[in-house]
Structure 1
């Protein structure tokens, strides 16, 4: 099964890019994972919903056929072990592709979130969207090491 991390906007700070690249490289040892960035729409005051809809259209186009997982603050709050189990369950269903979808500073369009097969929260806290991307990639790597019984994960 292939994975994609599909996100709105570019990671601007070099230290975020370096950390994401580090965990992405580690994760690639286990399975193909693509990092896809779609352009962020310029925010127009009073038109936030339209901006999020345009970004959602880009996200939809960037996600390969398969399961889409929306990352939101209202999503399922799970432990790393529970996330690893959920990912294994998707793999057991023969799903060809998982797309983990992150919105930009405005979040994700509500209709787009409803169209996703699962909604996941990384934390009840609100993170900058670049940090959320880093936390997600690290957690995916942690899940893979956990599933293989490797020593990285220490609960």
Structure 2
């Protein structure tokens, strides 16, 4: 089964339009997670973890209930924060220290979210298939995060 190509440039313009008239941070995170959930296939969770008290705390998301607290440096999300880099994981079970919130998740991508050059959280997307995310997805999702970052007013 081949994957349908996603027009991330078009999605970025649509997301920009969706967020352009709203300044509330939580509302924009909520709409972004719903937007991504609507347009990406073969995913089973999409949402945000936000840094609070030097740890990651569950934020707006789409999917099954999730882990609420993640230590920085732990799991895929905590590693994205500690390394300040996107984590694209083909097989979460092979990732040292993976935190299994949903046993159905097989692959994951986590992208740091910045405000004023500081990481304030991450976008986390899980998939029920192995190797769901490729380089095009990474670049496209990083573009969507940049659009979201341009609408952060906190």
What TM-score comes out, normalization by structure 2 length? 0.31
Larger Rg: 1
What TM-score comes out, normalization by structure 1 length? 0.31
Larger relative contact order (CA 8 Å, sep ≥ 6): 1
Larger strand fraction of residues: 2
